[in-house]
A and B are shown apart, each in its own frame.
Chain A
Amino acid sequence: MSKDLSNNSLAIFPSSWSEKRAGRIPGNIPIWVGILSELTEFGIFFVAYFFAKFHYPEIFAAGPQSLNTTLGVANTIILLSSSYFMAKAMANIRVDNLPKCERYLWLAFTCGCLYLAVKTWEFHWNDLQGFSTNTSEFFTVYYYMTFNHFLHVGWASCAILWVIFRLRKGAYSAKNNSGLEALAVYWHMIDLMWILIFPLLYVLR
């Protein structure tokens, strides 16, 4: 593949386009197409939340008090930490410190698994309290948003495993790490979505 094509990986820009002029794109263009699609999807959820809250203010004021806030906080700290570990993995690949990069990727993967375990426990806890998708409009929005986010963390955690495998095979280095960076920006996007979901569902009355 020519150098020009690697900078314009979908070949969707005019030949005059260059990353140098447009500004660096972390990861690659295809992952940003994915990220922007995901942001649109979650954006629709957020708009639905605000519409529902406008129409059912009492239900949405009472909803967060029914949830297990401790588990929500735990998951927020876990995801913020995973983002930090991912940023550290990127910092280490850029200095060709592969063992440290791998260690931070494992830490990020562990955070992903911890998040999934805590969230599963939370769904179980809700079930024990008698809450389900049909309990109220708040819980419909809650399950719709959080389960969707849960799936994103699940497949992104699998992607971390794939990147670790590729790293061990020598696919990434200080000069060639766009695949690893693509996963990193996707992971940060998942963290960003939780940063918005957490206050909407657990904090604001």
Chain B
Amino acid sequence: MKSIGKLEYYWWALIAITLFNTFLGEQFDSTALVSVLVALTVMYKGLVVIDHFMELKQANRPLRILMRSYFIFFPSMIILTVLF
């Protein structure tokens, strides 16, 4: 079971990252740097939810790998779009 403090920490971190992403999107023109930053933060948010809220960090390995791969693949597609 996760300690109570950790869940709160991740909750606030996820909200802070969401607000940061929105700020980036609203304040800056779409640049490669903005897209890469958004992609990396989305990847981090996904992995936090998968590891700590879904509790897959210490769970079944194939499920963990599958879920993590999903959240590495699609944010990577955002970075890929920067190249085209």
Which residues does A use to contact B, with CB under 8 Å?
A: 19, 22-26, 32, 36, 39, 43, 46, 50, 53-54, 61, 64, 69, 72-73, 76-77, 80-81, 83-84, 86-88, 90-91, 94-95, 184-185, 188-189, 191-192, 195-196, 198-200, 202-205
**Residues B55 and A26 in contact, CB atoms below 8 Å apart:** yes
Shortest C-beta distance, A75 to chain B (Å), equals 10
* In the complex, chain B residues whose CB is within 8 Å of the CB of A199: 21, 25, 38-39, 42, 78
* In the complex, chain B residues whose CB is within 8 Å of the CB of A64: 25
Please list 9 pairs of residues, one from A and one from B, whose beta carbons are closer than 8 Å in the complex, sorted by A's number.
A23-B64, A26-B55, A39-B70, A80-B14, A191-B49, A192-B49, A199-B25, A199-B42, A199-B78
Question: Chain B, 44-82, contact with A by CB distance < 8 Å: what is the 0/1 string?
Answer: 011001101111101111111010001100110110110
**Residues B59 and A46 in contact, CB atoms below 8 Å apart:** no
Question: Chain B, 2-14, contact with A by CB distance < 8 Å: what is the 0/1 string?
Answer: 1010011011001
**Residues A26 and B56 in contact, CB atoms below 8 Å apart:** yes
For B, the interface residue count at a CB cutoff of 8 angstroms equals: 49
**Residues A204 and B63 in contact, CB atoms below 8 Å apart:** no
Indicate whether B33 reaches chain A with its CB closer than 8 angstroms.
no
Shortest C-beta distance, B32 to chain A (Å), equals 11
* In the complex, chain B residues whose CB is within 8 Å of the CB of A95: 1
* In the complex, chain B residues whose CB is within 8 Å of the CB of A76: 18
Chain B: CB-nearest residue to A25: B60
**Residues A69 and B22 in contact, CB atoms below 8 Å apart:** yes
How distant is the Cα of A22 from the Cα of B65 in the complex, in angstroms? Answer: 13
- Pick the contact of B46: A185, A192, A200 (CB < 8 A): A192
**Residues B53 and A84 in contact, CB atoms below 8 Å apart:** yes
* In the complex, chain B residues whose CB is within 8 Å of the CB of A86: 53
Shortest C-beta distance, B73 to chain A (Å), equals 9
Chain A: CB-nearest residue to B82: A204
**Residues A196 and B74 in contact, CB atoms below 8 Å apart:** yes
A87 and B59 in contact (CB under 8 A), knowing A50-B81, A199-B21, A204-B30? no
The 5 closest A-B pairs by CB, nearest first: A205-B30, A203-B25, A23-B60, A84-B11, A188-B54
**Residues B66 and A36 in contact, CB atoms below 8 Å apart:** yes
* In the complex, chain B residues whose CB is within 8 Å of the CB of A24: 58-60
How distant is the Cα of A202 from the Cα of B25 in the complex, in angstroms? Answer: 8
